[in-house]
Amino acid sequence: MATKEISVGDVLARSSEYEEELDTERMTISMGPSHPSTHGVLRLKLELDGEVVTECDPELGYLHRGDEKIAENMTYNQFVPYTDRLDYLAPLANNVAYAIAVEKLAHLEVPPRCQAIRVLVSELARISAHLLGLGAFAMDTGALTVFMLTFTEREKLYTLFEKLTGARLTTSFTRIGGVARDLPDDWLNEVSVFVDQLIPVVDEVDGLLTRNRIFVDRTKDVGVISREDAISYGLTGPNLRGSGVPLDLRKDVPYSGYEQYDFDIPVGTVGDAYDRYLVRMEEMRQSALIVKQVIETIPEGSYFAEDAKRIFPPTKDKVMSSMEELIQNFMITTQGPQMPAGEVYFEAENPKGALGFFIHSKGGGVPYRMKIRGPSFCNLSILPKICVGAMISDVVAILGSLDFVMGECDR
Amino acid sequence: MDDDFLSKLLESHNYLTQRDSADHPAVNCPADRWTDCAKSLRDEHGYDMLIDATCIDWDKESPRFSAVYHLFSTVTHKYIRIVVDAEDDENPSVPSVTSLWAAADWHEREAYDMFGVTFEGHPDLRRILMWDSYPWHPLRKEFPLAGHDTELPDIAVREETGTPVIPAPMAGGPFVSSKQAGAMSKNEPRGADQSWNEEEEKPK
């Protein structure tokens, strides 16, 4: 019986050799919408030649809830809870991005303390999102222990979020013109203790994964995104930086007082899944640094814009004792925060990338049109390109390394 | 600096007109010049990233639809907004820029899905969030918040199981108010089944 030798070095070469020498039949398989590695409800229609992907067609929309339509039908503050459900792994960061976008429309500056609180919760949200992203990525590539470690830390963060906002997941913490409440007593100390406990865990994950032969084999040179492709496809966040583009909106288009803090932007060199992993690991350390700086320098003062009488409702004790404040509270609650007419686009550096809000207002308390730019939507659009030529098991690693969340992809 | 850039841009591209904006420089561009303009912005002015593309429905006004593009430069870190009006109100159409930025592919598919605006030259203009046989464009202003009753694509299910897909009732869903008179609790479809409680057994 004749045997055929096939080189196993290069995946692409192997697929072409298959084509020439062996008669193979293309097979179409459906990965998802409920597949553990699609992290939600993404469906990939894969065309396979043996184990090699020859075509990939992502199908979205399983989690489409019409958030943009809903936004046109309610006041600005009423939409805050809907932003929790965009990137539901970092709801606080979404709240902050949305509030700043609407405040840009009104040209409203919030007090320094409010800005510092927003930076603090955004960075904690980033840590929590990356902890989950890395844990799930490691689990997809076969390292289950990491997931246990990162989820233990994440649980501590959720307890902190619950103390601050009253909810673990659906935080709805910001309001247009401020935040819902000031920091609870002693909360900053607890955050400080958490950050000190976090770094050893990150080190441990580092030790478990970074030089782990299996993990490196599964991720190195897998899902390589070139610098040009990353920019052309509109990738943002760690996925863009993994390809070597040092773009971070916190540094380059600073908002909410990010320019006061000292931190570095990690970038990759190759743009493969391994680089994206390294970028996320370093981002957690940098976020921890920012959190420490905020705790040290947090200014005293008000946690909301007190002079924005038509945007932020007065505190409860004033509502109950003064007629004018009662009317103000009533007007803002029933008609929404009053915005001027205009167009504004703002995006914030969220854990997954740039979460953008485009708002067209005709004045009043309800937006005429609001478009939400979900970073995961753009990050996934490169899948048809990078999955071709990869093996099925690589697709799992690629999906894990892109770290997307369908809530903001489908909106 | 932004004003300076904008006035120079308006001078060198005389078909552009300035647009009101609360933040970044913004211009209106006629549909037939949009691809030229986009090419020049990308190659000569360094706007290498298409960050967002969407549409606005102006409802009763004409032109009814406008496409809104946001470009970003990874070098100067500046944004620019370009608004392109679709000329025809019945069959709105705007030139596609998928050949310039790969990111435009999915953004334009989404805009087509939500508004029914076609993008000329788009290689694969299909729905992206809704399913292919969905007959409406949900972000148009005349589309009700509660949605329309729509037949679901049940062919695949029917083939396998022999039973059709029965859509969930609209009444009782979010943003749907009942047309019937009387107390709201009576009109809730679930309300009919609430006669029983801990003391009283569920009617058979």
ipTM, interface predicted TM-score of the complex: 0.84
Mean pLDDT of all residues belonging to chain A: 88
Among chain A residues, CA nearest to B104: A233
pTM: 0.85
Tell me what pLDDT residue B186 has.
60
Cβ B171 vs Cβ B178: under 8 Å: yes
Identity of the residue in A234, A340, A346 whose CB atom sits nearest the CB atom of B101: A234
Q: Where are the beta strands (DSSP E) in A189-320?
A: none
In a domain, A42, yes or no: no
CA dihedral A261, A267, A272, A275 (to 10 degrees): -60
Minimal CA–CA distance to A229: which of B109, B34, B48? B48
Torsion region of A142: left, alpha or beta (phi above 0 gives left; psi -120 to 50 gives alpha)? left
Instruction: List residues bridging with A43 in a β-sheet.
Output: A59
pLDDT digits (tens, 9 = 90+) for A283-317: 999 999 999 999 999 998 888 888 888 888 888 88
Say whether pLDDT at A18 is over 70.
Answer: no
DSSP summary character for residue A368: S
CATH fold of B2-139 reads Beta Polymerase; domain 2 (3.30.460)
In a domain, A387, yes or no: no
- How many structural domains is chain A composed of? 1
- B159 pLDDT band (50/70/90 cuts)? confident
Residue numbers in A near B102 (CB within 8 A) = 229, 232-234, 381-382, 385
Q: State whether A344 and B50 contact (CB < 8 Å).
A: no
In a domain, A71, yes or no: yes
Domain coverage including residue A305: 67-381
pLDDT digits (tens, 9 = 90+) for A25-57: 788 888 878 777 777 788 888 888 888 888 899
Minimal CA–CA distance to A344: which of A102, A163, A24, A180? A102
In a domain, A28, yes or no: no
Minimal CA–CA distance to A306: which of A327, A321, A322, A328? A328
End-to-end CA distance of chain A: 57
In a domain, A410, yes or no: no
In a domain, A408, yes or no: no
Tell me what pLDDT residue A113 has.
92
**Range A225-250 average pLDDT:** 91
Q: Is the minimum CB–CB distance between A71 and chain B shorter than 8 Å? A: no
Q: Is the minimum CB–CB distance between A70 and chain B shorter than 8 Å? A: yes
DSSP summary character for residue A391: B
Residue A166 is part of a domain; what is its CATH number? 1.10.645.10
Among chain A residues, CA nearest to B111: A371
Tell me what pLDDT residue B169 has.
67
In a domain, A26, yes or no: no
**Range B160-170 average pLDDT:** 71
Cα separation, B171 vs B165, in Å, equals 18
In a domain, A172, yes or no: yes
Give residue limits of the domains in chain B.
2-139, 144-191
Tell me what pLDDT residue B191 has.
53
> Of the given ranges (A200-214, A241-255, A310-324, B47-61), which has the lowest mean pLDDT?
A310-324
Tell me what pLDDT residue B143 has.
87
